[in-house]
Structure 1
Amino acid sequence: MDISKLALLCDIADTKNLTASAERMGYTQSGVSHAISKLETELGISMLKRTKRGVELTSDGEMLMPYIRLVISHYNRMDEIVDSILGLQRGSICIGTYCSVASQWLPPIIQQFQQMYPSITIRIREGGMQDIEQWLTEGQIDFGFLSWRKHPNYKFISLARDPLYAITSKELVLPEEYLETFPLSAFSDYPFIASESGVDYDVTQAMEQAGASPIVSFQCRDDHTIVPMVANNLGVSLLPGMFLEGHDNVRKIPVSPCTIRTLGIGILSERTLSIAAKAFISLSRKMIRELTLSQQT
């Protein structure tokens, strides 16, 4: 079975568009159709179906796709190891991450990494906690930047601690003591702007542990939407300190009890990591440690 056909199928599953995948993967339109038809014949299973929106996986295709992605992932690892034996430096890395990590940590790390390894391609996928964990389990990413939680089904490499803060508009009148420390229980007294379920695990956990039941007035997929809504006095919210860097249009208040998330990297297994992924993780640990120390001094 040709690995390139499997890679093409994975790309179509992502784009849901034969023409887009043909351009990305270097096929003609007819070449894509021929390759997928041949793959389906070899497998004895219909993998794609046409819809009004383009194409998508059949139910059998959905069932097989996680395993196909793992086959491609392991093939790429083998290919990179062969290259390293031959003294080459090429390959690719796919990283899952929160938007806060993507904006604060990753730019300087990627810049340094590309100076060291200019031939390695880096792809970033942004999402919430559940997204990143699913991508990791299905082999869609090599590793993910995410926060620690109990009993993960992956290895967690701790990197830094990041406190959560209450945010309000600067015009909102609060009890004087709330301006110093905002009780988590007090979120029940104000309209609350929340992330969608599964996006921000740390905020949900903090509320549950404090026994707080905020009145959710809005739910947002992207935390970048929450800040301007709070700034316009539509409600209050609870967000990580790293994400709030540079947002001076809202009031940021420490919460009580103090709530801190532990950020790190999730991997399925060190044995299956590519050489490029290991190098990126090693550089990330070094640079984030230096960044954290500099912020403390």
Structure 2
Amino acid sequence: MHRLLALQKIITTGSFTKAAKELGYTQSSISQAIASLETEFNVKILKRSRTGASLTPAGQKLYPHFQNILRQYTDTKVIADQINGLETGIVKIGAINSLSRYWLPGLIRGFERLHPNIHFTLYQGDYDEIREDIRSGKVDLGFLKPPYTNGFKTSPLKIEQLLAIVPANHPLAKANNVSMTEIYKTFDNIILIPEGSHSSVLEAFNCLDIYPAIRDKIQDDYTVMAMVEAGLGVSFISELMLTNCPFAIKGIPTTPALNHSISLAYQDPANLSIASKRFLEYVESQKADLS
């Protein structure tokens, strides 16, 4: 089983050296494990390059089956632990910055009170990265919004509102609501976050036959807020990110309202580990309290 664990760690880290370090093995033992696996199956599974290690075409076909074997082994160990009065496991989650900061601490804290021996690995990224991490098996569960959930099973959690953000000293900051048309007329350039919100924003503008020039696309929420504070433009951001906001900006609801739904996405539920199934059930039980 250690050979499959080594393979999995190489794929998730992209490196023999990093995999060896995280597993506490020597690099030579990691290399020997993969060589043994390739000899047993008579196929080249991994290829090395200057940028790291990756699956060969044959490895890509075999890897999902190796993952299933590992998952079955882990679940069997969890059942054995339960028989012995324990409950163990690791839940691997993918989430964007705002959800990692505002939703996950409370969810993990509440879950660990019920299951103190189950632990978590968190991978942060944008929606494209999370979608790929779910597809590759790097994470068990990922927080996504449509259309990134295509091809996955989903558990809808919350409809989230996007707010227009402007500098706190801007005339629009006094408004309780602002139209997309007024925003377009007021600002020459619009800053967007490519974590899914830009598609909702552009759709709202386009429905009004407005086609704004986009000055910058910026992934990090805090960079966007800092640039808006500096007067470099306007943006649209999740209301969740404005909780305890450290920047001198103002969030304003828009007309039409900008909303998107957040779901917990995963592949075939039959392939989820017992620990991940437990966490999925817990999140579903708590979704009314997510804010």
Please give the TM-score of this superposition, normalised by the length of structure 2. 0.85
User: Matched residues in 2 for 1:168 and 1:277: separation?
Assistant: 40
State which of 37, 42, 45 in structure 2 corresponds to 1:44. Answer: 42
Q: Does the residue aligned with 1:131 lie in a helix, a strand or coil?
A: helix
Displacement of 1:244: 1.9
Which residue identity does 1:41 align to in structure 2?
A: T
Cα deviation code 1:86-134 (max 9, x no counterpart): 5431111101112111111111221222233222120111122222222
* Corresponding position: 1:203 with 2:201: no
Change (3 A) 1:131 1:54: closer
Displacement of 1:233: 0.9
* Counterpart residue number, 2:179: 183
Displacement of 1:158: 2.1
Displacement of 1:36: 1.4
Higher mean C-alpha deviation, range 270-279 or range 34-43: 270-279
Cα deviation code 1:62-105 (max 9, x no counterpart): 55445544443344334434443554311111011121111111
RMSD, aligned CA: 2.7
User: Matched residues in 2 for 1:97 and 1:20: separation?
Assistant: 23
Cα deviation code 1:243-264 (max 9, x no counterpart): 2212252111111101222223
Higher mean C-alpha deviation, range 134-143 or range 71-80: 71-80
* Counterpart residue number, 2:138: 140
* Counterpart residue number, 2:22: 24
State which of 226, 233, 236 in structure 2 corresponds to 1:235. Answer: 233
Change (3 A) 1:240 1:67: farther
Which residue identity does 1:207 align to in structure 2?
A: L
Which residue identity does 1:194 align to in structure 2?
A: L
Displacement of 1:204: 0.8
* Counterpart residue number, 1:105: 103
Higher mean C-alpha deviation, range 148-157 or range 32-41: 148-157
CA contact (8 A) 1:97 1:127 kept: yes
Higher mean C-alpha deviation, range 94-103 or range 242-251: 242-251
Question: In percent, how many aligned pairs have the same letter?
Answer: 28
Higher mean C-alpha deviation, range 64-73 or range 154-163: 64-73
* Corresponding position: 1:253 with 2:252: yes
CA contact (8 A) 1:185 1:213 kept: no
CA contact (8 A) 1:193 1:219 kept: yes
Change (3 A) 1:272 1:12: closer
Cα deviation code 1:31-54 (max 9, x no counterpart): 111111112222333333333344
User: Which sections of structure 1, spanning at least 5 residues, go unmatched?
Assistant: 293-297
Q: Does the residue aligned with 2:240 lie in a helix, a strand or coil?
A: coil
Aligned residues: 285
* Counterpart residue number, 1:265: 264
Which residue identity does 2:211 align to in structure 1?
A: S
CA contact (8 A) 2:155 2:265 kept: yes
CA contact (8 A) 2:200 2:260 kept: no
* Corresponding position: 1:282 with 2:281: yes
User: Matched residues in 2 for 1:214 and 1:74: separation?
Assistant: 51
* Corresponding position: 1:163 with 2:158: no
Which residue identity does 2:200 align to in structure 1?
A: Q
Change (3 A) 1:52 1:140: closer
User: Matched residues in 1 for 2:287 and 2:163: separation?
Assistant: 21
Higher mean C-alpha deviation, range 121-130 or range 202-211: 202-211
CA contact (8 A) 1:184 1:207 kept: no
Higher mean C-alpha deviation, range 271-280 or range 74-83: 74-83
State which of 157, 160, 172 in structure 1 corresponds to 2:170. Answer: 172
Please give the TM-score of this superposition, normalised by the length of structure 1. 0.83
CA contact (8 A) 2:204 2:256 kept: no
Q: Does the residue aligned with 1:96 lie in a helix, a strand or coil?
A: strand
Change (3 A) 1:37 1:116: same
Q: Does the residue aligned with 2:25 lie in a helix, a strand or coil?
A: coil
* Counterpart residue number, 1:295: none
* Counterpart residue number, 2:6: 8
User: Matched residues in 2 for 1:63 and 1:88: separation?
Assistant: 35
Change (3 A) 1:46 1:126: same
User: Matched residues in 2 for 1:70 and 1:213: separation?
Assistant: 47
